[in-house]
Amino acid sequence: MRDQHTPDHLMQLISRLEDRSAVIGIVGLGYVGLPLMLRYAAVGFKVLGIDIDPAKVAKLNSAGSYIAHIKPEQIARARAAGFEASADFLRAGECDALIICVPTPLNAYREPDLSYVLGTSEALLPHMRAGQILSLESTTYPGTTDEELRPRLESRGLAVGRDVFLVFSPEREDPGNPNFDTRTIPKVCGGTTAACLQAGMALYGPAIDRVVPVSSTRAAELTKLLENIHRAVNIGLVNEMKIIADKMDIDIHEVIRAAATKPFGFTAYYPGPGLGGHCIPIDPFYLTWKARQFGLHTRFIELAGEINSDMPHWVIGKLADSLNERRQSVKGSRVLVLGIAYKKDVEDMRESPSVELMEILRAKGAEVDYSDPHVPVFPAMREHRFELSSVALDAASIASYDVVLIATNHGAFDYAQIAQNARLIIDTRGVYLSPLANVVKA
């Protein structure tokens, strides 16, 4: 039954979302936006994808894919269901819903860089109209939706909660995870007003198995930060424990596996050569920056950040010590880095600690190569430049290096072959469970 205070635009929007006649606009067709597009197309919505990269647009419109775990046949099915990609923001007015999925990196001073979010919103605003919902999925600090997006909407005469509806619903994608996908990962949603939350629940309800409402966009924004800070802090803890265990000649991976047998009160986190990805190395700094505006110092979060940031240097220290024991130096040594994506079995290199390891080794005079079946050619990056291609692994190539550094434990690597032929292996991922003479845990 319709409440007499329910805005007409809201009822019309909800009706179009319920009968799936609404057009869904996904703005930003990367690791978050593309899976979301596929999901909406799969449940019967017409989807318009908007991206500033004309190469991505052309690829998608020809039913191609540029993300390894998304297959061209999935794009082809979406195209057959009416999906279209465009670089033209003028078309935003065709959409009933606009979902922003763009990056939120840090600037050179490790402060939030909202340029992608704000630039995208400024490009959309001239073409927005009454009856639309705008959802921000990009991870950000509490207050962004209210303080940055709402005033911009209202400056164009669109009353939020009456004419247009504004929500924050953080992305929870985990590329390469076979156990969860866009449909099955619960979706948190917070609205600027009660009407906005209604619209947000109607937007995500048809596509996601479970939508979790929270009281505000700020609560939704902080929820996402808590999730990722929880991981960053616990990874910092096990990284510190790894250093302690190493000094005591104890294998931290054995300890974690044993602790994980406890059926309550313990969650296993695993150490590594540093933090990678678009969330864990970045998101804590969004909260520390915002907390300073309230006169607060996030000591716990920043300590974990320090530990995690130091891990690449600790790994290189172990590598240097291991070479010294063999009467070799880092300078002049040949080092093969295995895996330069930030996590196992994906091609995503954002914030990958492998690249920092390569930079440190190169600065110390080592000759550095890499092997990664998911990254055949080292891509152009803003901060890193390596003119390299992935080395094919065989007995001879492995044996030709002074050190093989396992940075990312891709399933495609033949670890038995590596152990049999490598002179020295630095294992940062706990690949080798049993002690081997040529393996050093780092």
Amino acid at 129: R
Q: Which residues pair with 337 in a beta bridge?
A: 370, 405
* Contact indicator for 252, 271 with CB cutoff of 8 Å: yes
pLDDT the model gives residue 113: 92
Residue 1, pLDDT score: 39
Per-residue pLDDT of the chain (442 residues; tens, 9 = 90+): 344 556 799 999 999 999 999 999 999 999 999 999 999 999 999 999 999 999 999 999 999 999 988 999 999 999 999 999 999 999 999 999 999 999 998 887 788 999 999 999 999 999 999 999 999 999 999 999 999 999 999 999 999 999 999 999 999 988 778 889 999 999 999 999 999 999 999 999 999 999 999 999 999 999 999 999 999 999 999 999 999 999 999 999 999 999 999 999 999 999 999 987 667 778 888 899 999 999 999 999 999 989 999 999 999 999 999 999 999 999 999 999 999 999 999 998 988 999 999 999 999 999 999 999 999 999 987 777 899 999 999 999 999 999 999 999 999 999 999 999 999 999 999 999 989 999 999 9
Nearest to 349 by CA among 387, 313, 378: 378
CA 421, CA 147: separation in Å to the nearest integer?
58
Is 101 catalytic? The answer is: no
CB environment 238-272: b (16+ within 10 A), e (fewer) = bbbbbbebbeeeebbbeebeeeeeeeeeeeebbbb
| Distance in angstroms (rounded) separating the CA atoms of residues 185 and 266 | 22
Q: Hey, what domains does the chain have and what are their CATH numbers? A: 8-215 (3.40.50.720), 231-441 (3.40.50.720)
In angstroms, rounded to a whole number, what is the distance separating the alpha carbons of residues 252 and 295? 38
* pLDDT number for residue 68: 86
CA distance 91 to 133: 15
Q: Which pLDDT value is given to residue 5?
A: 57
Enumerate helices (H) and strands (E) in the chain, giving the number of each.
Answer: 15, 13
Question: For residues 103 and 286, what is the distance between their CA atoms, to the nearest angstrom?
Answer: 13
Sign of CA dihedral 28, 30, 33, 37: positive
The C-alpha angle with vertex 12 and arms to 223 and 80, in degrees rounded to 5, equals: 80
DSSP state of 363: H
What's the pLDDT score for residue 174?
A: 81
Distance CA 146, CA 290 (A): 14
CA distance 409 to 429: 6
- What residue type is assigned to position 290 of the chain? K
How many Cβ atoms are within 10 Å of 224's Cβ, its own excluded?
A: 23
* 337 vs 371: CA distance, rounded Å: 6
CA distance 283 to 344: 21
217-247 and 283-292 helices, crossing angle to 10°: 110
pLDDT, residue 2, reads: 46
Cα 201 from Cα 294, distance rounded (Å):
31
> Which burial class, exposed, middle or buried, applies to 209 when counting CB atoms under 10 A from its CB (0-12, 13-18, 19+)?
exposed
Lookup: tokens for 301 = 């979060």
Q: What is the DSSP string of 232-277?
A: HHHHHHHHHHHHHHHHTT--HHHHHHHHTTSSSS-------SS--S
- The DSSP result for 31-97, as a single string, is TTHHHHHHHHHHTT-EEEEE-S-HHHHHHHHTT--SSTTS-HHHHHHHHHTT-EEES-GGGGGG-SE
C-beta separation of 86 from 48 below 8 A: yes
Which pTM was predicted?
0.91
CA atoms of 93 and 158, how far apart (whole Å): 14
Q: What tokens does 1 get?
A: 């039954």
DSSP for 391-406? PPP-HHHHHT-SEEEE
